[in-house]
Amino acid sequence: MAHAPLLAAPAFTPLAQEARAGLAGGGQKSLPCKYLYDEAGTLLFEAICALPEYGLSHADQRLLQAHAAEIAAGCGPRTAVVELGSGSARKTRPLLEALAARQATVYIPIEISPQAIEHSRRGLEGITGLQFRPLEAEYREGLAAVAELRRAGRLGAERLLVLFLGSTLGNFAPPQATEFLRSLRRDLRPGDRMLLGVDLAKPARQLRLAYDDPAGVTAAFNLNLLARLNREMGTDFNLRQWRHQVKCDRRGRWVEMHLRARRAQTVRVPGLPRPVSFRRGETIWTESSHKFARKAIAPLLAGAGFRPLRQWADTLWPFAETLAQAE
């Protein structure tokens, strides 16, 4: 597998600036979920994906394994694969193997985490005919950079297959999810394809176990965000005074992760004029994950400028992969 950086990472808003904005003020405090994935967070998330309670990643992998050859067969010559949020790329490997067996394939993982890029590089070693060209960037600016390289003739591909797997689209509220897909469509050409993974609505108890596992791995993943702020910003969160909390819709259509203060406290946040005060029981909102009805996926894609081609759903854990084409 050839390995060459695609281009230097574009500048994006630093963690410190977004953390200060999310923690200041008197309303619901929040931190962007993208910052959960530093080196420790990436390793913890990989552990979450191996848990039996977190059936999402297992369903995603089963579907990709079962339908990799079919997806690859539908891709024309000179197709580059762009993945928005590759993680370790373990679940993506069967599809890349199927594509690379048919033609030399450029794979571009777009990741905000350099640790995730390194994990994906190691996870894809040994695939003959695969060129690994990572891009450290936010999803939208990364895809825009890939589109510009294609226009300039520097990509070596005519078509794109965009992979947006897992349940990342669910981090957006439904109106924002539509707008996000539209923004991706603006950087694609008619005929480009996207493989979209979405988690489907399921019983609230099943969701709660997935996001608050008995082993406490997800709790450690969530709490690591405060540890990261301490390491990288110089905040002084006492992690023993915080606990992981999950909130679920009783119909199983959304789940939220929060960090809940065990007691009233103040936390020093460099860059803010005074310490941030927390009441006992007050939370920091760290992630949302919206779940979809299967019948809603095709209209969602169509409203963003994509024509659904095929859809596969897992029978053990309600989850769907939809292959769509840019119109």
Q: Averaged over 217-224, what is the pLDDT? A: 98
Q: Averaged over 37-53, what is the pLDDT? A: 94
- Give the number of other CB atoms < 10 A from CB of residue 197: 22
pLDDT of res. 2: 54
pLDDT tens digit string along 227-275?
Answer: 999 999 999 999 999 999 999 998 889 999 999 999 999 999 999 999 9
pLDDT of res. 1: 61
Higher pLDDT, residue 249 or 216: 216
CA distance 143 to 145: 5
Q: Averaged over 41-70, what is the pLDDT? A: 95
Q: Which of 12-16, 125-129, 176-180 has the lowest mean pLDDT?
A: 12-16
Q: Averaged over 24-41, what is the pLDDT? A: 93
Q: Which long-range contacts (CB under 8 A, 24 or more apart) does 299-308 make?
A: 300/177, 300/178, 300/181, 301/181, 301/196, 303/178, 303/181, 303/182, 304/178, 304/181, 304/182, 304/184, 304/185, 305/181, 305/182, 305/185, 306/181, 306/185, 306/194
Domain ranges across the chain: 24-51+203-290, 54-200+292-326
Q: What pTM did the predictor assign?
A: 0.92
pLDDT tens digit string along 266-325?
Answer: 999 999 999 999 999 999 999 999 999 999 999 999 999 999 999 999 999 999 999 999
pLDDT band at 4 (very low <50, low <70, confident <90, very high): low
141 Cβ contact list (under 8 Å, min separation 6): 10, 12
Q: What's the CATH number for 54-200+292-326?
A: 3.40.50.150
Q: Averaged over 188-208, what is the pLDDT? A: 96
235 Cβ contact list (under 8 Å, min separation 6): 19, 226, 229, 267, 268, 269, 270
Write the single-letter amino acid at 231. Answer: R
Structure tokens at 41: 């967070």
User: Over 90: is that where the pLDDT of 175 sits?
Assistant: no
55 Cβ contact list (under 8 Å, min separation 6): 206, 210, 316, 317, 319
CA distance 99 to 5: 21
Q: Averaged over 105-120, what is the pLDDT? A: 91
Q: Nearest-5° angle of CA 10, CA 13, CA 16?
A: 135
pLDDT of res. 7: 46
Mean pLDDT computed over every residue of the chain: 93
Q: Averaged over 38-50, what is the pLDDT? A: 93
- For residue 146, CA distances in Å to 49, 118, 287, 311 come to 29, 20, 28, 26
The residues pairing with 243 across neighbouring beta strands, listed in sequence order, are 260
